[in-house]
A = this chain, B = another copy of it.
Amino acid sequence: MTDVSIIGIGQTPVAEHWETSLRHLAFQAARAALDDAGLTAVDAIYIGNQHADQLSQQQHLGALIADFVGLRGVEAYRIEAADASGAAALRAGYLAIRSGAVETVMVLGVEQTTDVVGSRRTAALSTGMDADYEGTQGATPAALAALLMQRYLHEYGLSVEDFAGFSENAHLNASTNPHAMYRNRLRPGMFASAPAVAPPVSLFDAAPEGDGAAAVILTSTDHARGQVFSPIRITGSAVATDALSLHDRDDLLVLNAVNRSAGRAYQQAGISPADVDLFELHDSFAILATLSLEAAGFAELGSGCTLANPAGIGRDGQIPVATFGGLKARGHAGGATGVYQAVEAVLQLRGQADENQVSAARTALIQSIGGMGGTAIAHLLQADN
């Protein structure tokens, strides 16, 4: 078994890139990552993408993007796990390096969806749910998140205001991230007066969809040490699934896949949640942020919201989350999001996070969720020196 390290990162801003095609977004992130690693080529490219076949009439992104970024001929294919696709591609890249069969891999997440009408986009997003049992009922991701959040409020006697701290933290951190989609801080009262998306989910409990691309380059840890100044080791990597339909879950308010994937990653790295310096979680909805903090071992069941304040999840808090704005304010770029998390964690662990720096960050947990928790993918990243 070969240990795996990240030696290059690249990202575009997350935004409504109506003027930039999917392949051009991919190009920008890919070239940035190659430059960062000091490489001109890699042996394989694994693409994380959720929606190109439905919304850009384009599948077969592996061959297309390999060629377009200047690497015609290399091994390339696409990995899909709804909005955890980027993290699934990272997992595939990790396994490829660890196999010893491939020396350098680019993991590239890319999504370009905002230039179609919203109803088509919502329909495409809803294909991440169970089409036969949820989709046919008209369920959208926001509607299912609303069911989860309502149940959570009821079960633990909370109110929607208890979730405010998640979006306030995300927007504060995004305000100093030049790649973020929304760089406005939330003023007092904004959360309380936010328009409803699907009650009780309001605009600030739900992440915006954006276009973007992010890339990381992986190689063996031995090779990495001679290659770049500060390689970042991947010391844990795990994928877990759960029932896709909410009605099939054992307990609506426990994200089993989050729990199992994080647990396995801790075990591989030989650490516990207390050793984690920052947690890039999947806050596509605030309720998933809450449930993730609980399932990944940072809060007891029902108490995730007690961390939703600067002392809990802030940059100097107990467990910093969404340190560059998270899905909520950096923006949720579908199949690219899991790779953005990796890029941001590397910036933190290299000490290159500028105003967003978490002090003395040595260990980062990143976790991506597909849909409402049907898939969860956890990686632990650690500074090498």
Residues of chain A whose beta carbon lies under 8 Å from any beta carbon of chain B:
1-2, 21, 23, 44, 50, 53-54, 56-64, 66-67, 72-82, 84-85, 88, 91-92, 95-96, 98-102, 123-124, 126-132, 135, 237-244, 248, 256-257, 260, 370-371, 374-375
If A63-B244, A132-B21, A241-B66 touch, does A1 touch B101 (CB 8 Å cutoff)? yes
If A99-B95, A237-B101 touch, does A374 touch B64 (CB 8 Å cutoff)? yes
Residues of B within 8 A of A130 (CB): 58, 64
Cβ contact within 8 Å between A127 and B95 = no
If A44-B239, A57-B135, A101-B237 touch, does A78 touch B80 (CB 8 Å cutoff)? yes
Cβ contact within 8 Å between A131 and B244 = no
Rounded to whole Å, the gap between the CB of A66 and the closest CB of chain B is 5
Interface centre among A88, A123, A131, A243 (most CB of B within 10 A): A131
Q: Which of B63, B92, B257 contacts A92 (CB 8 A)?
A: B92
In whole angstroms, how far apart are the Cα atoms of A132 and B76 in the complex? Answer: 20
Cβ contact within 8 Å between B95 and A82 = no
Cβ contact within 8 Å between B256 and A63 = no
Residues of B within 8 A of A129 (CB): 60
Residues of B within 8 A of A54 (CB): 53-54
Residue of B nearest to A88 (CB): B77
Rounded to whole Å, the gap between the CB of A155 and the closest CB of chain B is 23
In whole angstroms, how far apart are the Cα atoms of A135 and B53 in the complex? Answer: 12
Residue of B nearest to A87 (CB): B77
In whole angstroms, how far apart are the Cα atoms of A188 and B64 in the complex? Answer: 42
Cβ contact within 8 Å between A67 and B243 = yes
Residues of B within 8 A of A84 (CB): 77
Cβ contact within 8 Å between A128 and B243 = no
CB<8 Å pairs between A and B, sample of 5: A21-B132, A56-B131, A59-B80, A59-B128, A67-B248
Stoichiometry, as copies per complex, reads 2
Rounded to whole Å, the gap between the CB of A6 and the closest CB of chain B is 17
If A63-B375, A100-B98 touch, does A80 touch B81 (CB 8 Å cutoff)? no
In whole angstroms, how far apart are the Cα atoms of A151 and B127 in the complex? Answer: 41
Cβ contact within 8 Å between A76 and B131 = no
Rounded to whole Å, the gap between the CB of A226 and the closest CB of chain B is 21
Interface centre among A75, A82, A256 (most CB of B within 10 A): A75
Q: Which of B60, B67, B72, B77 contacts A128 (CB 8 A)?
A: B60
In whole angstroms, how far apart are the Cα atoms of A350 and B23 in the complex? Answer: 44
Q: Which 4 A-B pairs have the closest CB atoms?
A: A63-B374, A98-B99, A75-B239, A60-B82
In whole angstroms, how far apart are the Cα atoms of A242 and B63 in the complex? Answer: 6
If A53-B54, A78-B80, A81-B77 touch, does A244 touch B67 (CB 8 Å cutoff)? yes
Residues of B within 8 A of A61 (CB): 80
Interface centre among A77, A91, A375 (most CB of B within 10 A): A77
Q: Please give 15 more A-B residue pairs, beta carbons under 8 A apart, in addition to A23-B132, A72-B243.
A: A1-B100, A54-B54, A60-B80, A63-B82, A63-B241, A63-B370, A63-B374, A66-B241, A67-B243, A73-B241, A73-B260, A75-B240, A76-B241, A80-B80, A98-B99
Cβ contact within 8 Å between A257 and B100 = no
Cβ contact within 8 Å between A75 and B370 = no
Rounded to whole Å, the gap between the CB of A233 and the closest CB of chain B is 15
Cβ contact within 8 Å between B101 and A60 = no
In whole angstroms, how far apart are the Cα atoms of A75 and B375 in the complex? Answer: 8
Cβ contact within 8 Å between B81 and A79 = no
Residues of B within 8 A of A101 (CB): 1, 95, 98, 237
